Structure 1
Amino acid sequence: MQAIYSKLLLVSLIFTCFLPATSVKESKHPLHVSTTEINFNSKEKSLEISCRIFTDDFENVLTKSYNVKTDLNKPSMQKAMDELIKKYLTAHLQYNVNGKTVNATYVGFEKDQEATNVYLEIGNITSLQKLSINNTILYDLFDDQMNILHVEKGGIRKSVRANYPSNALVVNF
């Protein structure tokens, strides 16, 4: 799965090199993708979640969804952005662990170059046999959105992806 993702990224980067300068300027990146990484921490009995989303897309969807000014770079707006991100991800990421619906706790976010990393956690997870996620991140902005899920448990890493309009991601151990 990681090889496919790497090839898609490489193709998109090569493709942008041949576009006219005006097209590149209008669309900062032709690939619309988010990545969600989940690590099962057996010692802490929790799922540690991190979502990586292109910052410009994330700001655009937050502005569109909540009709407010957004700026994920501005420290003075940190508290307001925390609330918007928490609200958005609660609406666009639903979790089912071992057949039981669970909720994630929002931990925070940070900017990392052109992307924003959002951190969440699900506690009281004693074992992980099956993880189902309904992921519609950025589906309300792009009809070519791809959402990738990587799940790690005890050194075993499994990956799946969903392309708009499909939103179901399932991993079994």
Structure 2
Amino acid sequence: MKKRSKRLIGMAAVAISAMVVGAPALAAADSIKIGTFLAVTGPASFLGDPELKTLQMYIEEINAKGGVDGKTVELVHYDTGGNAKKAVSFAKRLIKRDKVDVIVGGSTSGSTLAAMPEISKAGVPFISLAGSVKIIDPVNKWTFKTPHTDRMAASKVFLDMQKRGITKVALISGDGG
């Protein structure tokens, strides 16, 4: 599993624990339900597969230690295959049918940005794993993110290129967010 994914999911696990420990609505629940929509298959599976495995690992570890405030943590997962329309559908399902307490996901910026309006409208805390600065700018009361922004990454790449004396660049980009 890639170190970056483990670190990001680890930060998400800490954030989830902090959110759910103080949430009064969870007081009556037997478990804490974490919903996720990730690109475990498809073109972004290099992100989604380790994200899912890391979430599963952390939840197993948390439950082995007695859960959070004595409540077990349950993961409800859907694979978007990198499709933003599926992300929206799965976000709705996580909220309405599965009644999750928090959502972690969006392996890609396109999936995250597509699902954000539904998640925000429902008032469910959402921790994004995607990079677009648009996820947090403007600030959204219900949305958080763990990785650096795309703007920060581009700046670091540019500084590294300057340091190495690289003056020619080629860019290959997708249109999926």
Normalised to the residue count of structure 1, the TM-score between the two structures is 0.29
Judging by fraction of residues, say which structure has more strand.
Answer: 1
Judging by fraction of residues, say which structure has more helix.
Answer: 2
